[in-house]
Chains A and B, each alone.
Chain A
Amino acid sequence: MSLPSPVPRRRARWVGLGLASALALGAYPTARALDFGSAIKLFGVGFAVKQFGGQINSFLNTILAQKGAATKDATKVVPIISIGKGGYIGAAQVMGPEATLSTVKAVGQGELGFGGSTFRLKALIPINTTNPTKGMKRVSGVGVSAIIDLKL
């Protein structure tokens, strides 16, 4: 013998839908309020730089303007990728002509130490991809104007 359901099936469907919407809407402000540190921990450096790169770029340009050293070129913030080991290791502000700058997706970093690590050499190369293992091309005419160390 089956007992009658306390909530009719059709109404239960609507209640479920409402609950799901409420949960989704409740989570939205949390996602919006995600700070930089949490974004790095949860989603990685690439995502954090994509989300907050614009804010960091404006901040750096403001600092430069205050010091009387503003650049006339276009700027943007992109992730730094270790070319030898792979993976995101930080962020950099790059500057250059707007058309060229739009093709820059990351800065590739190659590092070399010798003399018992007394002498350290670091190449910073604006590249056209975030996946240098599949082939990359240097974006000529674009330079690095700031290096950003991310705090975890």
Chain B
Amino acid sequence: MKQTQRNPRVALAGLGLTALLVAPLVTPLTPMGDAFITRVAHAATRARVGRAAWDDLEPNLRSKFVPVLSGGNGVRIGMAQVTGPEADVNDVKAVAELETEWKHAARARLYIPISDLNVLKGINRVPRVGVSGMADVRLKF
């Protein structure tokens, strides 16, 4: 069966453009945003999701918020919480988002933790790190 996907050149160009334009603006805000979001997330998930959501994180694991660079349809500004071994999480600068479609039946958004914001040189994936949360701001014009 035929499997479809978006044009990878367009997706990569979009990703690169987003990285160049958005990352310098968003990155300085992330330490402050991270602390705020993490605090809110803790409060919210304890109330709504239950203790199991956050309290079982192993001591050698760490999580932090980084900007999401999307390269699919349109450009959105969002943040992702990444979790993994402390040394690896420290390397993560952003999460690259790629969109693809499977047999016209499902749309997948792939999240790749990256250590280099310049994705035009290639995607530099940080191993052993996965996404554990998403946060986005809806921009009204």
Instruction: Report which A residues bind B (CB closer than 8 A).
Output: 35-37, 55-56, 59-60, 63-64, 66-73, 83-84, 91, 93-96, 108, 110, 112, 114, 117-125, 127, 135-138, 140-151
Contacts and interface: CB of A to CB of B under 8 A. Distances in A.
Interface residues of B, number: 51
B44 interface: yes
18 contacts: A35-B105, A59-B3, A110-B53, A121-B37, A121-B41, A121-B133, A127-B52, A136-B52, A137-B56, A141-B58, A143-B132, A144-B131, A145-B112, A146-B108, A146-B110, A147-B109, A147-B111, A148-B106
Contacts of B57: 138, 140
B25 interface: no
Contacts of A64: 110, 112
A80 B73 CA distance: 23
Interface string B21-55: 00000000000000001001100110011101110
Contacts of B54: 138
B106 A123 contact: no
Interface of B: 3, 5, 8, 37, 40-41, 44-45, 48-50, 52-54, 56-58, 61, 82-84, 96, 98, 100, 102-112, 122-123, 125, 127-138, 140
Contact of A122 (B52, B108, B127, B135): B135
Contacts of B108: 56, 60, 93, 146-149
B39 to A, nearest CB: 11
Contact of B48 (A55, A60, A84, A141): A84
Nearest to B100: A63
A63 B97 CA distance: 12
A86 B53 CA distance: 15
Contacts, number: 156
Nearest to A119: B137
Contact of A117 (B40, B125, B138): B138
B138 A72 contact: no
Contact of A124 (B110, B123, B132): B132
B127 A72 contact: yes
Contacts of A37: 105
B138 A125 contact: no
Contacts of A108: 49, 53
B7 to A, nearest CB: 13
Given A59-B3, A138-B56, A145 B131 contact: yes
